[in-house]
Amino acid sequence: MSDPTILVLSSLAGGEKHGYAMMEDIERFGGVRLGPGTLYGAITRLEKQGWIAPVGPRDRRQLYKLTAAGRAHLQEQLENLGRIVRTGQRRLENV
Amino acid sequence: MKRILKTLGRLYPRAWRERYGEEFDAILEDRKPCLLDIADVLLGAFRMRVSVRHLVQIVLPCGLAGAAIAWGIAARTPARYSSDTVVKFTSYRLTPVCSNPDELPATLRPSKGACGESRAVMDKGMQAWIQPALDRDFLISVIKSKRLYWEQQQSHVPIEQLVDTMRAHINLRPIGSAENGASTQAYRIEFQYSEPRLAQDVVALLASRSMDAFIKSSLAQIKAQGVSGPRQYARTIAIVRTPSFSTTPLGVSRVHQVELGFLAGSLAGLLLTLSLGSKSAGESRKLRSES
């Protein structure tokens, strides 16, 4: 699972963060080291979709938060992933 | 490394940099960079500049235009086919016992340790046997009898020009020599033409012409020395490889030319897209208003 948009949404689900904090968090919980180009590509797309939003005034270390639409999208994506994971595990157990 | 990454960060579209530039630079300062980050930033900048819409609206049409141009050029350039043959000239030094002309077939076997004519003499002779294949009158007779360059003939292109064209399509090249009891040199005779069968016919004629010259030269030598006089050398000529017939055209095939045209066009489209700057004016305005 290395879709950067899901990783960023999951990171922001734990609270507001700026870019560098997201990178650290994602590396910690996902074991994935996102490059700056990949991270900001995902942030740009997610902000354009309205799934994340900047918090407070413009800053060099801009904080971002998950929006309600972003939360719903993440929920949907994780449920889909969960279904896939459960199906895969069940099938592995039956082998 | 950080300086390189910051410089590469400037490849992002201006509108994007106005919105995210400071944050992006800050993250480059905070993070310990690695080599993979260079590729990551480059790819990120590329993705920001080129969208799927750009690929469909600019890059794909440019690629198709390139393919069409390449097809047009390929269609106007007739395919050329090559035919070739290899002729081998050999010179033996005759042993005294074989100097009688009646015994000539036996003398064609090289005696142990005997060499043929010197390389210089052979080279000189070779020129005399090969060059007649490029003779003007001979080429004119071939052009007329085989109806070569027929369209140009119908368009009243001067015959001298056709001779020059034909000479340019003939390739006479020594491909090897040996000194093993005899002096041997092989020549490759090649002709390229738009019809493979005619290319093959012409190569056969060129080889025949060389053989004629060789036989005439050898007979003249015998005549000069006198039929019953002692002879030092015997020469043979052999067609080592019969004129080839190939239905595969020379050079890059038309399909590949079209593929190359598509690639070149796509590349031009990509460069055009990158030179346009940001993804679109609308997106730029949106990013600016958000910032």
If 0-12 CB within 10 Å is exposed, 13-18 middle and 19+ buried, where does residue A94 land? Answer: exposed
Q: What is the pLDDT of residue B288?
A: 47
- Residue A89's H or E segment, with its range, is helix A68-94
pLDDT confidence tier of residue B251, bands split at 50, 70 and 90: confident
- Tell me how close the Cα of B22 comes to any Cα of chain A, in angstroms: 5
Q: Mean of the pLDDT values across residues B37-47?
A: 87
| CB proximity list for B171: less than 8 A, separation 6 or greater | B84, B188, B189, B190, B191, B192
Mean pLDDT of B117-121: 62
Residue of A nearest to B30 (CA): A20
Would you say the ipTM is above 0.90? no
Q: Which two tokens stand for residue B218?
A: 């050898």
Q: Which long-range contacts (CB under 8 A, 24 or more apart) does B288-291 make?
A: B288/B15, B288/B18, B288/B19, B290/A47, B290/B19, B291/A58, B291/B18, B291/B19
**What gap in Å lies between CA B231 and CA B222, rounded to an integer?**
8
User: How many CB pairs below 8 Å do chains A and B form together?
Assistant: 61
B87 reaches A (C-beta below 8 A): no
User: Cβ(A33)–Cβ(A27) under 8 Å?
Assistant: yes
Question: Predicted confidence band at B47 (pLDDT cuts at 50, 70, 90)?
Answer: confident
pTM over 0.80? The answer is no
Q: What is the DSSP letter of A26?
A: H
Let me know: does B279 contact B49? Beta carbons within 8 Å. Answer: yes
- Tell me the C-alpha distance between B43 and A21, whole Å: 22
Determine the pLDDT at residue A51. 95
- Cα–Cα distance, B85 to B197 (Å, whole number): 14
Q: What are phi and psi of A64, to 5 degrees?
A: -130, 150
State the smallest CA–CA distance between residue B268 and chain A in angstroms: 25
- What is the least distance, in Å, from the CA of A90 to any CA of chain B? 37
Mean pLDDT score of chain B, rounded to an integer? 80
Distances from the Cα of A26 to the Cα of A5, A31, B26, angstroms: 11, 7, 18
- The answer to whether the beta carbons of residues B112 and B181 sit under 8 Å apart is yes
pLDDT grade, residue B230 (50/70/90)? low
Torsion from C-alpha of B170, B174, B175, B180, nearest 10 degrees: 150
A20 to B25: CB separation less than 8 angstroms, yes or no: no
- Reported as a single tens digit per residue, the pLDDT across B159-193 is 999 999 999 999 988 887 776 667 788 889 999 99
* Confidence (pLDDT) at B116: 54
Amino acid (one-letter) located at B96: P
User: Which CA distances in Å does A32 have to A2, A4, A22, A47, A78?
Assistant: 7, 9, 11, 21, 17
Please state, in angstroms and rounded to a whole number, the distance separating the CA atoms of residues A48 and A30: 24
For residue A56, give Cα distances in angstroms to A21, A65, B154: 17, 10, 83
Angle at A21 between CA A16 and CA A24, to 5 degrees: 135
Q: How confident is the model at residue B137 (pLDDT cuts 50, 70, 90)?
A: very high
- Nearest-CB residue to B40 (from A38, A44, A59): A38
- CB count within 10 Å of CB B175 equals 13
Per-residue model confidence (pLDDT) at position B106: 47
Write out pLDDT tens, residues B56-83: 888 889 999 999 999 998 888 878 899 9
Task: Give the model confidence (pLDDT) of A35-89 as tens digits.
Answer: 999 999 999 999 999 999 999 877 788 999 999 999 999 999 999 999 999 999 9
